[in-house]
Structure 1
Amino acid sequence: MNRVLGIRRHPLKSAAAEPVTAAFVGKHGLDGDRTWTCLDADGTIGSAKQPRLWGRLLDVRAEYVPAQGEAGDVHIVVPDQAPALAGSPEADAAVSAWLGRPVSLTRTAPPQLRRHHWWPDEPGMIPEWAADAEPGGDAVVNVRSSAGDGRFFDFGALHLVTTGALDRLSAEHGTEVDPACFRPNLILDLPEDPSPGQRIAIGADLVVQVSVPTPRCVIPSLAHGPAPADRGLLQTLARHHRLDVPGFGRATCFGFYADILAVGTVTTGDQVAVTA
């Protein structure tokens, strides 16, 4: 029987994932997911897609504490430091010291979100829609037209991977690939990824619809907790997972984004059913 194997949220964009056993999925994604971001002095938001600037953020933990009827608190835990409340001077100081430059944590950002993006130099890792990008180069890119939903997503509100796709990737790569390197919200025990347009019923109420495969950047090759850095993973992905992203063009992809059709609570062990 197909089930939910893992649930992860990321209360602070590009910080370490927070594994949970249950979460409510509303129209904007998991409660507490990507509700905070780091704001740099140049007005860009923090993203480990430029690891030179933000790679160390992956070692920072963020823990969401739900609150009845209002936005919950997020506690920031920098290695070897006491927890601090996101939005406090203590949290800003701790993250700034860890990154080595002054940044501030915010859940309110300019309408136009921008971030730094480092383009990997492995062949096949630049998507067709960025054909002018320089391999190994840095660019400042627009994330979305607005942050009106109060979240800091690069694209979709819900990101999923399946055990079938992970097993095949591990075989292609010659070693087991930890799903943590793809930073999914949900890990589903399914034999393969559903196709765009297919619906997935999860648990009693949640229904999502696959939108597009997830284009990959440098992040899967970085260290994620116990999962070590592995630049060779990008070569494997580019060799075996160059796909058509509907409406955009070809790109190296893994996992998929999904739109939320019916909200509900997801719990590890929930039954999963894919429909046409």
Structure 2
Amino acid sequence: MKVAEISRFPIKSLLGERLDDVEIEQRGLIGDRLWAVRDVEGKIGSGKNTRRFRRMPGLLHLRGYFGERVPTVELPGGETFAADDPAGHAAVSHAIGRNVTIAREAEVQHHDEGPVSLITTAGLRQLAAMTGEPVDPARFRANLLIDLPGTGFLDDSWVGQDLQVGPTVLLRPQALQTRCIMINMAQGDLPESGRLLKAVAERPDLTFGLWATVIRAGRIAVGDAVTVNSRTLITAHP
């Protein structure tokens, strides 16, 4: 197995950027989802409504780019601005039809479930067989796409194991990742899908892919080998 794609989303729920390599820390990919759109109630812009999130149609027509100090936001017409620019906040508010600002992560984390998300090519092939059409990995907004031979949800068994990625990084998948209507939405050049969420709904608890914690930080690159290392759990006896 190897890393096929690396993706980072500097501003949560906006389009992101593909990378050749990236540094991973305990929080996840450097700069990933570190900023987010927030409404006047402090809810985080997303594709769904929950205790933390507020559904905000239109965010997937905007794009975020990493910056050392603050990310850059790009509007559909190509206009760009710094994420902390009040004039930019006004432009985003106009674009999505509600009053919002863009803020850095504080007490409430921006990740849906965990620091690093990943999917596999084998899983995508399985979904393609179920829907009758190719499934673009961009719909799942995962950090890592792992090139895994075969077809099926083979990565389900990785929960609780260790993933060695490249020479240094060690990830530990903690759970399958829950999906929502966002995977059906039009984004970038991808049109709206009417089949994908129905296919994922056939999975346990509407899941596809995994989220993982970072056991050992470091740098990864496209093409790096990925190895599943089984963990031996030692139980202490009285």
Question: Same fold, TM exceeding 0.5?
Answer: yes
What's the CA shift for 1:39?
A: 1.3
Where does residue 28 of structure 1 map in the other structure?
27
How much does 1:200 deviate?
A: 0.8
The CA RMSD measured in Å over matched residues stands at 1.7
Residue 77, structure 1, aligned to residue 31, structure 2: no
SS of structure 1 residue aligned to 2:87: helix
CA separation of 1:7/1:35 partners in 2, compared to 1, >3 Å: closer, same or farther?
Answer: same
8 A contact 2:66–2:72 mirrored in 1? yes
1:202 corresponds to: 165
Q: Find 2:199's aligned residue among 217, 226, 236.
A: 236
Letter in 1 for 2:208: F
Q: When the two structures are superposed, what TM-score results if normalisation uses the length of structure 1?
A: 0.77
2:211 matches 1:211: no
The equivalent of 1:117 in structure 2 is: none
2-side partners of 1:206 and 1:260: how far apart? 8
Counterpart of 1:176 (choices 134, 143, 161) is: 134
- Which position in structure 2 is the counterpart of 1:262? 216
- Give the whole-Å Cα distance in 1 for the aligned partners of 2:139 and 2:99: 27
- Report the Cα distance in structure 1 between the residues aligned to 2:48 and 2:19, rounded to whole angstroms: 24
The aligned runs of 1:150-189 (5 Å cut-off) are 151-189=109-147
Gaps spanning 5+ residues in structure 1: where?
Answer: 67-71, 112-146, 244-250
Report the equivalent of 1:91: 88
* 2:178 counterpart of 1:223: no
TM-score by length of 2: 0.88
The one-character-per-residue Cα deviations of 1:3-24 (angstroms, maximum 9, x if unpaired) are: 1010001111100121111110
Which residue in 1 is equivalent to 2:61?
Answer: 59
**How many pairs align?**
222
Could you tell me how far 1:236 is from its partner in structure 2? Answer: 1.3
The answer to whether the aligner puts 1:102 opposite 2:104 as a matched pair is: no
Deviations 1:168-208 (A, max 9, x none): 11111111111111110000012431421111111110010
Any runs of at least 4 consecutive aligned residues in structure 1 with deviations exceeding 6 A, and if so which? none
Give the C-alpha shift of residue 81 in structure 1.
4.3
Distance 1:36 1:86 in 2: 8
